[in-house]
Amino acid sequence: MARLIQHKKEAFWFYRFVSMGYDNVINPFFWTVPMREKALELAQLNSFDLQVLDAGAGTGFTTSGIVEKVEAKNVKMLDQSPHQLQKAKGKSILNDCEKILGDVENLPFETDCFDRYISAGSIEYWPDPQRAICEAYRVVKPGGIALIIGPLARKNPIARWLSDTWMLFPSKDAYFSWYKAAGFTNIRLVYVAPDWYEDNNNPYAIAIAGTKPTAGKSPLNLAPTIESTNEPMTLNRRLNFIFRFVVGSTAGALFMPIAIYKSWQSKFKLKKE
C-alpha cells in the first residue's frame, strides 16, 4: 500500500497544518492523558536525574508527561517539524527542555548518552522504522530503555485502506521484529486506546519497550539511508509530492469524523447506563 505521508517532506508539511490544532483537536480523540500514563509506565521513569530523549516530540504532549517524573532540564525534545516545536515552546512546563530540530533516523547525539529514549506517535511517519530503532539503540546507555508508542494495523477493510493510504500502521510482530533485530532484550508491551475504542479483537495502539544489553551501536548493520529532504524538487517530484500530500492528508482527515462519532456513541451509551 502507498502510505502517502510516510515520507519526510510530506510529513513535514502535513504537520505544518496539523500543528495548529494538534493539542486541542487531535489529542482529545487519539492520544489521551490516560493512554500516555499507561504507556510511560514501561519507560520506568523512576528517577528525576534520568537523561531522556523524546524523539518526534511534536508539541510536547508526551514530554509533558515525562517531565512530571524527570527534571525538565534533563529532557531533550527532537522533531523535524519547527511548527510543532514552536507550539511546544509555548508550554511553560517545557521551558527547561532543550528543543532540537533533527531526524530520528540520524540522531545528532553521541552513542550511549541517554538513560531513556521515548517516541510517541512518530513511527507512523518514519520512512525506515528499522533504521530509527537502531538509532534509538545507539543513543541509549547500556541498561537503558527505549519506548515507542504507535498505532497497530487495522483489521476492518475500510479502516485498513484509509490507514495504509495515510501512513504506517505496523503489526505487533513488526514492532517486535524491529526491536529484536536492533539488539534490544527484555522486550515487553502494553496496549493503549482512547475511551471510545471498543474493538478488543484489534488493539488500537501499542507501547513497546526494550532494554539495551551492552554498550555501542546496534549489531544490525544497515545500508546508507535512502530518503533525503534535500533532494531538488523537479517537476515530477513536485507533482508526486502534491499527489501524496493531498490524497494522504485526506485519508488521514477521514479518521476525525469516525473518532467523533465513536466518541459521541460511547458517551451516549454511558449516559443510558
Which residue type sits at 16? Answer: R
Is residue 204 within 8 Å of 151, Cβ to Cβ?
A: yes
In angstroms, the first-to-last Cα distance of the chain is 41
Q: Average pLDDT per run of 10 along the chain, which is 273 residues long? A: 60 57 65 94 97 95 97 96 88 97 94 98 89 97 98 86 77 97 98 86 94 97 68 59 62 61 56 49
Unique residue bearing C-alpha cell 539488539: 183
pTM equals: 0.85
| CA 166-169-172 angle, 5° bins | 175
Domain 8-216+228-272 architecture = 3-Layer(aba) Sandwich (3.40)
Residue 187 is predicted with a pLDDT of: 98
CA–CA separation, 136 vs 68, rounded Å? 22
Strands 205-211 and 140-151, by their bridges, are: antiparallel
Of 42, 50, 38, 57, which Cα lies nearest the Cα of 208?
A: 42
CB 147 within 8 A of CB 52: no
The CB density around residue 236, as the number of other CB atoms within 10 Å, is 8
Any idea where the domains of the chain sit in the sequence? Answer: 8-216+228-272
Q: How many angstroms separate the Cα of 221 from the Cα of each of 103, 138, 179, 229? A: 19, 12, 14, 23
pLDDT digits over 114-166, tens only? 999 999 989 988 889 999 999 999 999 999 999 999 999 988 888 787 777 76
Residue 1 has a pLDDT of 47
pLDDT value at residue 164? 74
